[in-house]
Structure 1
Amino acid sequence: MKTPCETIVWSIVPVIKREFAKNLLNISGLTQREIALKLDTTEASISRYISGKRGVLELTDDEISNEIKKSSIKISKENGQTAINEICRICKLIRSKNIIDNIPDTC
């Protein structure tokens, strides 16, 4: 049995980063290298997010999708700490909406 924190690290955060990567590429026009720097990860990870090999869960909640787009725009204009703050903000939103089973809002 996974702990709630394991579920977040292995399932939720990759989905958030995947959506950020896709938005930064398509909306902001950043390169994979620039995206990797913004998200403090490798270009290889960004390639996997964009190709759909990492972060495979689908987000179907419109509010979360809209918030991710807003965050992506903010990340494109600011430094790496912004990405960390926005990942945490989106994660809290996902947890508060009980979209994923076994992740209490208090985790």
Structure 2
Amino acid sequence: MVKVPCQEIVWDIIPAMQAALAAELVSRGVSQIKVAKALSVAPSAVSQYLSGKRGYRIIFDDDIKELIGRLAEDINSGTITEDKLGEEFCIICRHLRGSETCDGHNA
């Protein structure tokens, strides 16, 4: 069976972004419980992100790490709220895939 681009995004890219964001937030002193709430995931998922059991398949380049760092800063400061997080993930995902749209052709 052929893996379609949407599968890669859902199975690999989003979990990797969540793992990187969780690690960044925790490194900034945010509790795992607050990280779980911000990412709308269970605290156990955050623990798995931090231990490398989940979201470990992709290693991001410095540009993506910088975007994730800025997003963590914005979440930590309250500039980005839970309801806007999805939009920010889409921006990072499009940047990662080098695409202006979410059509999946460049994944």
Query: Scaled by the length of structure 2, what TM-score is found?
Result: 0.85
Match of 1:41 in 2: 41
Please name the residue that 2:77 is paired with. 77
Aligned pair count? 100
* Cα displacement (A) at 1:58: 3.5
Q: Which runs of no fewer than 5 residues in structure 1 stay unpaired?
A: 98-102
Structure 1 runs of 4+ aligned residues shifted over 6 Å read none
State how far apart, in whole Å, the 2-side matches of 1:3 and 1:58 are: 17
Distance 1:91 1:60, change over 3 A: closer
8 Å contact kept, 2:20–2:68:
yes
In structure 1, how many angstroms separate the alpha carbons of the residues matched to 2:85 and 2:60? 22
Q: Specify the alignment match of 2:16 in structure 1.
A: 15
**C-alpha root-mean-square deviation of aligned residues, in Å?**
1.6
SS at match of 1:89: helix
C-alpha distance after superposition, 1:47-72 (max 9, x if no partner): 00000000112324111111110011
Distance 2:47 2:60 in 1: 22
**CA distance in 1 between partners of 2:16 and 2:65 (Å):** 11
CA-CA distance at 1:75 after TM superposition: 1.7
Identity among equivalent pairs (%):
31
Q: TM-score, normalised by structure 1?
A: 0.85
1:91 counterpart SS class: helix
